[in-house]
Amino acid sequence: MADKPITRLEEARMFKKQGLPLNTPVEDGRTFSAEYDKHWVRLTRAYFDFMSAVDDYGRSDGSPVKWRQLTRRLDAIRKEMQNCEAFAGKLCGGNVATPVFKSEQAEAEFQVLVFFITERAMPFVEFWEDTIDAVADGKARVIHGDDIPR
């Protein structure tokens, strides 16, 4: 679908919050490939499973079983990130430095996936790796919702 001016209030709010111009074009109705969806769903499922483990550990009063579950779930996010990176490599012809895309669809999927991995998933995983390492070293750690990269 063609780009259009922002007409919805939630789009304007999102762009204002990010410091972007309010007249930034927004594209609606993009369809992603089944393979892209598969990777995206697995990554987001790993995220939700991890956050559930964080909640379980927080309510468990430091259970070693819940701690191991937490670390396994973070490992699952890392694994799904690697799978997404391999898929992104496939989309760009195997060379990220000089990508060759087979289609406009492949290029769009590559751009969204790489942006999400580098800007969202990596900072999230790094935050939790640092937190888990600190707790494993015996340091107390208080986490507020705003501390966690989104």
Domain membership flag for residue 53: yes
C-alpha 74/C-alpha 54 separation (Å) is 10
- Does residue 26 lie in a domain region? no
pTM: 0.77
Q: How far is 27 from 144, CA to CA, in rounded Å?
A: 34
Of 38, 7, 27, 42, residue with least CA distance to 104: 27
Query: Is 89 in contact with 113 (CB distance < 8 Å)?
Result: no
71 in a structural domain: yes
> What pLDDT shows up at residue 27?
63
Closest CA to 2 of 27, 24, 33: 27
Q: Supply angle C-alpha 42, 45, 48, rounded to 5.
A: 155
Asked if residue 125 belongs to a domain, the reply is yes
Residue range(s) defining the domain that contains residue 64: 34-140
Give how many domains the chain has, as a whole number.
Answer: 1
Residues 102 and 93 sit within 8 Å (Cβ to Cβ): yes
pLDDT in tens, the chain (150 residues): 455 554 567 777 777 777 777 776 666 666 889 999 999 999 999 999 999 999 999 898 888 999 999 999 999 999 999 999 999 999 998 887 788 999 989 999 999 999 999 999 999 999 999 999 998 898 888 888 888 887
- Residue 1's pLDDT is 46
Domain for residue 57, yes or no? yes
Is 15 domain-assigned?
Answer: no
Specify the pLDDT at position 43: 96
